[in-house]
Structure 1
Amino acid sequence: MKTRNLIYRYLAIISIALGANFANAQSFPDRPITLVVPNPPGGLVDTSARLLSEPLTRVIGQPIIVDNKPGASGNVAYQFVAKAKPDGYTLLISYSGYHVGNPSLMDKLPWDPVKDFSPVALLTVSTNVIAVHPSVPVNNLKELIAYAKANPGKLNYASQGNGSVSHIGTEIFKQNTGIDLVHVPYKGSGPAIQDVLAGQVQLFITTPPSVMQHVQSGKLKGLAVTGKSRHPGMPNVPTTAEAGLPSFQLESWVALYAPAGTPAPVIAKLTESVKKSLALPEVKERSDAAGVELRYLTPTAMDALLKKELPYWDKAIKSANIKLD
């Protein structure tokens, strides 16, 4: 009898807890929502957060606050959200360079990319551009690959730092083509692009905002974009598939995540609201001006994308023996 009473009490407690969670989910949201950004203001990740915040405020009916928490290669923000209460009010603006790169770059990561977060939606993607200095005697991607093979170790490439997307992406490019390039890391795209423009470094694979105006002016040669379609700001630059290298694609993505354990009805409300926000015409206009592509994916599709990319990036990072400073 005592055991049966204990079971009944246990079931009652569970029922009350589930009922409370359901009630909270039904009333969600009833206060402001915070988007935690792992980068400082400016750039792809922060831009994506601010593209979403204003329309999402209107769609969901509560203020959306953007909170920049840069530091430790994104770990400050990721750890903060991983430990946050899973109620939908503290969300992570996740960057692919951190979410799929850090697990392989760091031995003791204070968060798990799958277990600690629940996907809400993919927000934006940004292609990359393979750009070279005009002094390099090539005019297309095939010629670049042939020239690099004929001159192993002669060409240098810039990156935004060890473990950055530009670093890992160029190493994947090397692995795909069998060429030898020398890595020159910088602290950000600003100093990198200056040396590329000066011809001190010959090649840079990076996002369009860093090189677009220089390709347009002829100060750099844009050989290919690494996405599925051409970039509207550089319509004459072919995709890697069009240029003869369909095996190499490199897109940086930004997605919205909640702490693991966030109730399913809350995730459903968030993802539907994000979908409506990204579909607004003014958001498309702003994203085009910023050089990023809006691309919504459901939580299930986002989960599949992450699980596909984790082993791909892990193999590339380990093959190139990439380590953080």
Structure 2
Amino acid sequence: MTELNRRALIAATLAMPALRSAQAQGSWPTRPVTLVNPWPAGGSSDTMTRIFAQRFSQAFGQNFVVENRAGASGTIGHSYVAQSRPDGYVLLSATNSTYAIAPHLMGTLPYDTRGAFTGISLLARTAQAVCVHPSVPVTTIQEFLAYVKARPGEITFSSAGIGASSHLATELLMSAAGLDMMHVPYRGGAPSAQAVLAGETNMSFVDAVTALPHRQAGTLKMLAVSTAERTPLAPDVPTLQEAGVAGFESSTDMALMAPANLPAPIVARLTEAVQAAVNDPAFRQQIIAQGAAPVGSTPAEFATYWTQESEKWATVIRVRNIRMPT
């Protein structure tokens, strides 16, 4: 064997793993993909996760199986994904409660909030609604704010847990409107909504997808929405900004993420799939019908948003002196 042939053989041998990796990425997925939802089944994040999982299953010709790994403000599911192989077969359907809020509350996490994940796209944004039990003697958001102000520390509110977006939205409201309410945390959006439905608590920020049917049934009063614009599913319900709470804006924001170092070709294919989904009129209507607004950002756009969202809630947590129980 000549020296030239020997060098060519060595080069070819060294290139084989990279070639096999590239081929694997190009053919991904060749088996079912797990889409982790770090919140309990039954809440709005679970509903949205399953809608996108069905869409991805159709787009890629492989089943995207939703797996609920709930607990610790979503950090249990995040930790599981952070420790998974970055091969595209374990993905994360995350909410801002965990990727933008929990790091400022939880102390030392078992993963690096930014370094352990590949951010792919913001999927959808769900408006939250100020909901009260029918026994609360108010009919408008202005009446409710006055009712709470007259009873400092007496009115209870439920949330999906300390650090959940429903908790932080209420803290933001109390700070902006000068209110004092008692927090009763639950483990997830579904049990939190059930608490106010049952009258265990007086008030809660409930995602619109969960609140609307109960409003129609008369089992909840829906007084205002948290987003800058009214939701098209309840156009008669004002925003908190319209009610005089200047600058108030909060929502449950869902994002598609993966373990760090997900290969660029897989990131690109997932980003394209999200863009195709949110630009499909029929799919958009499916999301809107659930009380959410489809988004579909690029990885770079998501990274910018992630920084801004994290800084926003870090300020609220610091100003309100919110702490996890020890």
TM category, shorter: 0.7 to 0.9
Structure 1 counterpart of 2:74: 74
CA distance in 1, matches of 2:40, 2:197: 25
Deviation at 1:322, TM superposition (A): 3.0
Structure 1 counterpart of 2:8: none
CA distance in 2, matches of 1:126, 1:15: 46
Distance 1:26 1:229, change over 3 A: same
Distance 1:316 1:12, change over 3 A: farther
- Which AA in structure 2 matches 1:97? S
Structure 1 counterpart of 2:127: 127
Distance 1:36 1:210, change over 3 A: closer
* SS of residue matched to 1:290: coil
- Does the 8 Å contact 2:132/2:203 carry over to 1? yes
- Does the 8 Å contact 1:93/1:257 carry over to 2? yes
Residue 161 of structure 2 is aligned to residue 156 of structure 1: no
Gaps of 5+ in 1: 1-10
Gaps of 5+ in 2: 1-10
CA distance in 1, matches of 2:214, 2:54: 31
For these two proteins, the number of residue pairs brought into alignment is 318
CA distance in 1, matches of 2:273, 2:166: 32
Structure 2 counterpart of 1:45: 45
Structure 1 counterpart of 2:279: 279
CA distance in 2, matches of 1:185, 1:72: 12
Residue 226 of structure 2 is aligned to residue 226 of structure 1: yes
Distance 1:210 1:23, change over 3 A: closer
* SS of residue matched to 1:100: helix
CA distance in 2, matches of 1:213, 1:181: 26
**The 10-residue stretch of structure 1 (68-77 or 122-131) with the greater mean CA deviation from structure 2:** 68-77
**The 10-residue stretch of structure 1 (183-192 or 275-284) with the greater mean CA deviation from structure 2:** 183-192
1:135-154 alignment, distance < 5 Å? 136=136, 138-154=138-154
CA distance in 2, matches of 1:98, 1:324: 17
CA distance in 1, matches of 2:87, 2:188: 35
**The 10-residue stretch of structure 1 (23-32 or 242-251) with the greater mean CA deviation from structure 2:** 23-32
Deviation at 1:28, TM superposition (A): 3.3
Deviation at 1:129, TM superposition (A): 0.6
Could you tell me the percent identity over the aligned residues? 36
CA distance in 1, matches of 2:241, 2:128: 13
Structure 2 counterpart of 1:5: none
Residue 255 of structure 2 is aligned to residue 267 of structure 1: no
Structure 2 counterpart of 1:208: 208
* SS of residue matched to 1:70: coil
Structure 2 counterpart of 1:323: 324
Deviations 1:10-66 (A, max 9, x none): x99987665554444334334433212212332222222211122222223333232
Residue 313 of structure 2 is aligned to residue 313 of structure 1: yes
CA distance in 2, matches of 1:14, 1:175: 60
* SS of residue matched to 1:266: helix
- Does the 8 Å contact 2:74/2:97 carry over to 1? no
- Which AA in structure 2 matches 1:277? A
* SS of residue matched to 2:296: strand
- Does the 8 Å contact 2:25/2:266 carry over to 1? yes
* SS of residue matched to 2:258: strand
Deviations 1:217-243 (A, max 9, x none): 445432210113322332210122222
- Does the 8 Å contact 1:38/1:74 carry over to 2? yes
Distance 1:197 1:276, change over 3 A: closer
Distance 1:256 1:194, change over 3 A: closer
Structure 1 counterpart of 2:111: 111
CA distance in 1, matches of 2:265, 2:189: 40
**The 10-residue stretch of structure 1 (63-72 or 16-25) with the greater mean CA deviation from structure 2:** 16-25
CA distance in 1, matches of 2:25, 2:191: 47
Deviation at 1:99, TM superposition (A): 1.6
Distance 1:187 1:259, change over 3 A: closer
Structure 1 counterpart of 2:59: 59
TM-score (norm 1): 0.84
CA distance in 1, matches of 2:143, 2:135: 14
Distance 1:213 1:85, change over 3 A: closer
- Does the 8 Å contact 1:216/1:234 carry over to 2? no
Root-mean-square deviation (CA, aligned residues, Å) is 3.1
